[in-house]
Amino acid sequence: MAGLTGRMSTIVKAKVSKVLDRAEDPAETLDYSYSKQLELLQNVKKGIADVVTSKKRLQLQEASMQQQVVKLDTQARQALAANREDLARLALERKQSVQTELQSLDTQIGELETQQQKLIDSEAAMRAKLEAFRTKKEVIKAQYSAAEAQVRISEAATGVGEQMADVGLAMQRALDKTENMKARASAVGELEDSGTFEDLTQLGAGKDDIDRQLEAIGAGGAVDDELAKLKGEMGAGSPPPAALDAPAAEPATAEPTEEAP
Amino acid sequence: MIIRIFSDGQYRIPEDAQARLHELDAQTVNAVDAGDEEAFTSSYGALVELIHSVGERLADDELEPSDLMLPPSDITLEEAREEFTGEGLIPD
C-alpha cells in the first residue's frame, strides 16, 4: 500500500530493523540495549511529568481567569448602578473575551490530558511486550532449531521495536503540545506584565481603568455611592430612567459636569 | 493482515476488508495532496473507524510484527504532510 499507511510503515520498519540489525542475534540486541530501553522509559516518565506540570499551569491560569470573570461581572453591576452604561458595556465586553479565552484553555487542557493518557498507555504496552519477549525468546530457543529460532525471535523483537517507535512518537507529540502551550502561557504572562493586555482582558491584579473610573465616580460623594448601591439593589441590569436624559456619548471622565458657564 | 495504529494498538484485519481499506487510504492521500483539512479528517477518521469495527485487537503482550502502520487517529493534516515530505513522524 503506497498511501499514508505505506509511508509510515516503511519508515518505522526501516528504523526498527536498523536497531535490530546491529547484532546478528536480535535477542541479544534487545538484551544489550536493555539500558537504552530503561533510558527510554525514564524519559517517558519525565515526559509525563512535564505534561502534568504544563497542565497545572494552564489550570492555574484558568482559575485566575474565572476570578476575572467574577470581577468584571461585579464591575458591570457597579457601573450600571452608577448609571454608567458605557462602563458596564466595557466590562461586559471584557468578560466576553475572557470567557472565550477560558473556553480555549479548557480545550487545551483536554488535549493535554489525552496526550498524557496515550503516553501512559503506550508505555504500559511496551512494558508488557518487553516482558513477553523475555519469556518467549527462551521458549523459542528451547523449541526450535537455531536457524528457525533466529527468525522467530527476530519477528518477536520487531514487535517490541514497533512499540518502542510508538512510545517515541507519543512522547514527541506530548512534548510538542506542552512546548506550544508553554510558549503561549509565557506570551500571555509577558503581555500581562507589560500591561499591553489592558484593552483586551486586563488580566493583571490590581486596579484597571474601569476600577479607576468607578472610583472617580465614588469620589463624587459618599451619598452618590450609597444611592448607586441602592439603585443596584433595586434593579441591577436596567438603567434607572434618569439615564435616558444623560448625553449618549458622554466622555469617560470622572466629572459629569457640563460645559462651564 | 495486522495493522498498527500508533497511540492506539494492533488489529488483525480480515482479508475481505482490505479493498475498502485501500480505498480509504487513497482518499486520505488525495486529501493531504489537496490540503483539504475537512476531507482529510473525514477520510482518515473513516479509515480508523473501519479498522476498529472489523479488526480484532491484539493484546499488549503479543509480539506480532505489523504489516502496516498508521499514524495516530488524531493526526493533523500538517503532521500528515510532514509524514510525506520530511523524515516522517517517528523520532530516531
Tens of pLDDT, residues B4-48: 999 999 999 999 998 898 888 888 888 888 889 999 999 999 999
What is the model's pLDDT at position A1? 44
Question: Under an 8 A CB cutoff, do A156 and B80 touch?
Answer: no
Is B90 in Cβ contact with A118 (below 8 Å)? no
Check B44 against A4: CB less than 8 A apart: yes
Judge whether residue B50 has pLDDT over 90. yes
Question: What's the gap in Å between the CA of A51 and the closest CA on chain B?
Answer: 16
Amino acid A260: pLDDT: 44
Instruction: Please state, rounded to an integer, the average pLDDT across all residues of chain A.
Output: 73
Mean pLDDT, residues A79-103 taken together: 86
Nearest by CB to B91, from A114, A155, A169: name it. A169
Give residue B8's pLDDT: 92
Q: Other C-beta atoms within 10 Å of A70: how many?
A: 10
**How far from A140 is each of A20, A130, A143, A154, CA to CA, in Å?**
18, 15, 5, 11
**String of DSSP letters for chain A:** --SHHHHHHHHHHHHHHHHHTTSS-HHHHHHHTHHHHHHHHHHHHHHHHHHHHHHHHHHHHHHHHHHHHHHHHHHHHHHHHTT-HHHHHHHHHHHHHHHHHHHHHHHHHHHHHHHHHHHHHHHHHHHHHHHHHHHHHHHHHHHS-HHHHHHHHHHHHHHHHHHHHHHHHHHHHHHHHHHHHHHHHHHHHHHHHHTTTTTTT--SSS--HHHHHHHHHHHT-HHHHHHHHHHHHHHTTS--GGGGGS-TT--S-S-------
Supply the DSSP string of chain B, one letter for each residue: -EEEETTTEEEE--GGGHHHHHHHHHHHHHHHHHT-HHHHHHHHHHHHHHHHHH-EEPPTT--PPPSEEE--TT--HHHHHHHHHSS-S---
Contact A159 B62 (CB under 8 A): yes
State pLDDT tens for residues A203-226.
Answer: 444 567 777 777 666 555 555 555
Q: Is the pLDDT of residue A151 over 60?
A: yes
- A121-125, A220-224, B79-83: least confidently modelled range: A220-224
Q: Average pLDDT, stretch A87-110?
A: 87
Most confident residue range from A88-92, A233-237, B85-89: A88-92
pLDDT at A255: 46
A162 vs B4, B89, B91: nearest CB:
B4
Predicted confidence at residue A190, as pLDDT, reads 61
Q: A43-77, pLDDT tens digit by residue? A: 888 888 888 888 888 889 899 999 999 998 888 88
- The nearest CA of chain B is from the CA of A52 a distance in Å of 18
A122, pLDDT greater than 60:
yes
Sheet order of strands, B56-57 included: B56-57, B9-12, B2-5, B68-70
* A5 pLDDT higher than 70: no
Q: Is A173's pLDDT higher than 60?
A: yes
pLDDT of residue B13: 94
pLDDT of residue A256: 47
**Among A1, A118, A129, whose Cβ lies nearest the Cβ of B25?**
A1
pTM of the model: 0.68
Q: Once rounded to an integer, what is the mean pLDDT over residues A86-109?
A: 87
Residue in A7, A125, A158 nearest the CB of B65:
A158
pLDDT for residue A85 is more than 60: yes
Percent with pLDDT over 90 in chain A: 2
Which residues from chain A sit within 8 angstroms of residue B60, using beta carbons? 124-125, 128-129
Give the B-side interface with A, CB within 8 Å.
3-4, 6-7, 9, 21-22, 25-26, 28-29, 32, 44, 59-72, 74, 80, 83-84, 87-92
Instruction: Please determine, for the modelled complex, whether the ipTM score is greater than 0.90.
Output: no
Tell me: the pLDDT tens digits for A188-207?
A: 666 555 544 444 444 444 56
